[in-house]
Amino acid sequence: MSGGDTNDSVAGGGTGGSGSTAGGGASERLVRLLGGDETAWLVDRARRRLEQGKPLTGTVTLTTATPAQRRAAEVLLGRRAGAGSSLSVSLDEVDRTLRVGGITADGLHEAVIRLRGPVRDLAGEKVAQATAWERAFARLDALVIDRPELSGWRSWLESTGLVRRLAATAGEARTLLDRLSTVLERLPSPGTRLGRLAAETCADAHALDEGRPLATLALSAARALSGLPYAGEGGADARRSAWAAVGVHLDDLSSFVLCLGLPGDDHSPTGRMLSAARTAGEPCVLTLRQLLRHEAPLRANLVRICENPVVVAAAADELGASCPPLVCGGGRPSAAVWRLLDLLAAGGATFAYHGDFDGGGIAIAAAVHERVGFLPWRFDAASYRAVPSSAPLSGQVRPTPWDPELSAVMERRGVRVEEELVLAELIADLAPKGRRGH
């Protein structure tokens, strides 16, 4: 018996006795020939082939056979089984022996089932499992078709295997991803508390709490919708900012907005705070809680928006009470920033915007422009060209509808211009009788 099947070669002996596992209909001769410890390796190898959908043909080899295993093969086949340390057995010959000897009508295939029980269809199980996972993602994939900004994130989910780590089975994954799809259908959701979003989409106010599988997936999708890295940072501030970028706040007090010179009124606590801060020439910090409780529009004419708090601090130092209305977005606008801008827009205000000339700054500006509209405040192509800089441009530059030329110029020039580099010019624009902003 020569010519081993290398794919079926193993070192060592069988897996133990199997006579006790023979079905009730197994004949004594079948058990004697293939049911013992010495032939267990051969039956196991045949069963493995059946499970994999392979035919019971060719040769299997045991690379280190004991004398007892060699004698068992000789009894089975009725002749010597060769010499040396390895033992090769032809499955075709075993099948023929079982059929001709009247031991099993269906040869080796029947023998394996009678000795080991029903054979699993591993190939079929694999196909069924793959189909189940496809169905698990079906609703999410349909949503991504309509939300192309999520296509890169969807590929990232696949490449990282994140869903399979969070859900043990395709069934669990389907439940998880269907809930995720319901959440994503609501995003962005300006001014919504996280607990309320969870309750309304999942019937569980804690479904989006930190550490929950759904929260992990939803937060990565929120980052994707905001142009942030999908994995992101793990700190509470980064998590709060990512949710805020899609309008969702963790609580009413952790979301706030910095402003200076906004006119207030005498009819509400928030209005009186703004009036007092304006008179004193001091910056005012308003929480989302305060702004949600202020239902009346805020009246103002032109309101300038900056990206960085340093502009507000410098304006307060140099202009004090004479500074015109100024709101700081603080990077990616929080729910409080959006609420304040909405109240000002409802009161008839118009806006002028300045921010950082880089990928992130343009993305923030685009979100503000889409929400409330603005005129560029030294935030156009001409202003960008006028500032010397050698810092490399970071991030992908989105279209700039307030000045379509700007994005093209930034791509060609390839440098970053931070807001602090033009701080003096911005303060001069804010000063009474100062230069008109670009």
Rounded Cα gap, residues 14 and 30, in angstroms: 17
At 216-253, the pLDDT tens digits run 999 999 999 988 888 877 777 788 888 888 888 877 77
Cβ pair 283, 316 in contact under 8 A: yes
* pLDDT higher than 90, residue 255: no
DSSP 305-353: EESSHHHHHHHHHHTGGGPPPEEE--SS--HHHHHHHHHHHHTT-EEEE
Q: Tell me the mean pLDDT in the region 170-180.
A: 95
pLDDT over 90, % of the chain? 58
Cβ pair 324, 427 in contact under 8 A: no
Quote the tokens at residue 437. Answer: 């902003």
**What pLDDT, on the 0 to 100 scale, is given for residue 240?**
82
**What pLDDT, on the 0 to 100 scale, is given for residue 434?**
52
| Strands 192-193, 248-249: pairing kind | parallel
Does the pTM surpass 0.85? The reply is no
Rounded Cα gap, residues 379 and 94, in angstroms: 84
Helices marked H in 161-285: 162-166, 170-184, 194-202, 213-225, 236-244, 269-280
Residue type, 244: A
Rounded Cα gap, residues 159 and 134, in angstroms: 15
At 350-378, the pLDDT tens digits run 999 999 999 999 999 999 999 999 999 99
**What pLDDT, on the 0 to 100 scale, is given for residue 436?**
43
Task: Please report how the helices 194-202 and 170-184 are oriented relative to each other, as an axis angle in degrees rounded to 10.
Answer: 120
Q: Tell me the mean pLDDT in the region 419-435.
A: 89
Contacts of 422 (CB under 8 A, 6+ apart): 354, 378, 383, 387
Beta bridge partners of 10: 62
Domain ranges across the chain? 6-120, 123-249, 256-430
Q: CA angle, corner 381, sides to 376 and 386, nearest 5?
A: 105
Q: Tell me the mean pLDDT in the region 48-70.
A: 90
Quote the tokens at residue 116. Answer: 């080991």
Rounded Cα gap, residues 73 and 91, in angstroms: 12
Q: What are phi and psi of 330, to 5 degrees?
A: 65, 40
Rounded Cα gap, residues 8 and 52, in angstroms: 13
Tokens 């609420």 appear where? 339
Q: In what order do the strands lie in the sheet with 256-260?
A: 284-287, 256-260, 326-328, 302-306, 350-353, 375-376
Rounded Cα gap, residues 240 and 334, in angstroms: 9
Q: Tell me the mean pLDDT in the region 194-208.
A: 92
* pLDDT higher than 50, residue 3: no
Q: Tell me the mean pLDDT in the region 260-283.
A: 94
**What pLDDT, on the 0 to 100 scale, is given for residue 208?**
93
Q: What are phi and psi of 192, to 5 degrees?
A: -100, 135
* pLDDT higher than 50, residue 22: no
Contacts of 5 (CB under 8 A, 6+ apart): 58, 59, 60, 61
**Coil/strand/helix, residue 87:** strand
Q: Is 191 left (phi over 0), alpha (psi -120 to 50) or beta?
A: left
Q: Which CATH number fits domain 256-430: 3.40.1360.10, 3.30.1510.10, 3.40.470.10, 3.40.1010.10?
A: 3.40.1360.10
Mean pLDDT in the chain?
A: 88
Nearest alpha-carbon partner for 5 in 65, 52, 49: 49
Q: What are phi and psi of 65, to 5 degrees?
A: -100, 145
Helix (H) or strand (E) holding 157: helix 151-160
Nearest alpha-carbon partner for 195 in 254, 145, 142, 129: 254
* pLDDT higher than 50, residue 136: yes
Q: Tell me the mean pLDDT in the region 271-282.
A: 96
Contacts of 291 (CB under 8 A, 6+ apart): 257, 270, 336, 339, 340, 343
* pLDDT higher than 70, residue 203: yes
Residue 264 burial by Cβ neighbours in a 10 Å radius (0-12, 13-18, 19+)? buried
**What pLDDT, on the 0 to 100 scale, is given for residue 163?**
95
Quote the tokens at residue 435. Answer: 């230069």
Rounded Cα gap, residues 150 and 185, in angstroms: 12
- The mean-pLDDT minimum among 23-32, 301-310, 332-341, 390-399 falls in 23-32
Rounded Cα gap, residues 261 and 130, in angstroms: 60
Nearest alpha-carbon partner for 218 in 257, 252, 176, 260: 176
Quote the tokens at residue 403. Answer: 């000045």
